Amino acid sequence: QVQLEESGGGLVQAGGSLRLSCTASGLTFSDYTVGWFRQAPGKEREGVSCSGWMSTITYYTDSVKGRFTIPRDNAKNTLYLTMHSLKHEDTAMYYCAAAISCSGSGLHPALHTYWGQGTQVTVSS
């Protein structure tokens, strides 16, 4: 059974940093295209960043370019989202996902995407 478990969310002041973690069991992250989505209250889900199979491609949505990175630790089977210079508009529930579509134009869920339960990020202005 595949499980993705996120952690690292919390309350941070604008300008601060957080690192989200997503640890997988039942699958090997290095074999999958993975990414992070977020959803703010009253808004549609948004693709934030993705990393292709074997990290062949990396994408960031425009609003986070230069502030977020999406490293992997294959030995720990863990995906990260490091977030710097956080803004109030980054406030959302963040979800880790595996087996997604990732390209230079964005990321999207696929037919058999695996999802984590989400971790809340709140940025106070």
- Give residue-wise pLDDT tens across range 45-102: 999 999 987 767 999 999 999 999 999 998 999 999 999 999 999 999 999 999 999 9
The pLDDT, as a whole number, for residue 1 is 92
| Tens digit of each residue's pLDDT (9 = 90 or more) over 94-120 | 999 999 999 999 999 999 999 999 999
pLDDT above 80 (res 17): yes
CA distance 44 to 30: 28
Please report, for the chain, how many H helices and E strands are present, in that order: 0, 12
- Token representation of residue 51: 């990393």
Amino acid, single-letter form, for residue 90: D
> From the CB of residue 64, how many other CB atoms can be counted at a distance below 10 Å?
22
Q: Contact, 51 vs 58, CB < 8 A?
A: yes
The pLDDT, as a whole number, for residue 111 is 92
pLDDT above 90 (res 125): no
Task: State the greatest distance between any 2 C-alpha atoms of the chain, in Å, as a whole number.
Answer: 40
The pLDDT, as a whole number, for residue 90 is 98
The pLDDT, as a whole number, for residue 56 is 79
State mean pLDDT over 21-34.
Answer: 94
Which of left, alpha, beta for 51 (phi over 0: left; psi -120 to 50: alpha)?
beta
